Amino acid sequence: MNDKRGDSLSGLTAGEAQEFHGFFMSSFIGFVIVAVVAHILVWMWRPWFPGVDGYSSSMIDGVKVAASNLMTFIG
């Protein structure tokens, strides 16, 4: 038993700690990349700072057109 597990607070050897650190950093970088892509996609869909007309003007116009098309189709 020469692994010296009692020397660290985590109980891991130096090699195990480096291996865990590698997995942790890979996972963290992957998470950050997914989060950045998600934020970019949300920004493209609806910017966080609305323009002069706000968010709803173009969205409501699209909903009105869709509703009128649906009403002509139904009745």
Q: Is 70 exceeded by the pLDDT of residue 3?
A: no
CA distance 7 to 55: 58
Is the CB of residue 20 less than 8 Å from the CB of residue 12?
yes
Backbone angles phi, psi at 2, to 5 degrees: -110, 20
Q: Is 90 exceeded by the pLDDT of residue 75?
A: no
* 22-41 mean pLDDT: 97
Read off the pTM: 0.57
68 DSSP assignment: H
Amino acid 49: pLDDT: 79
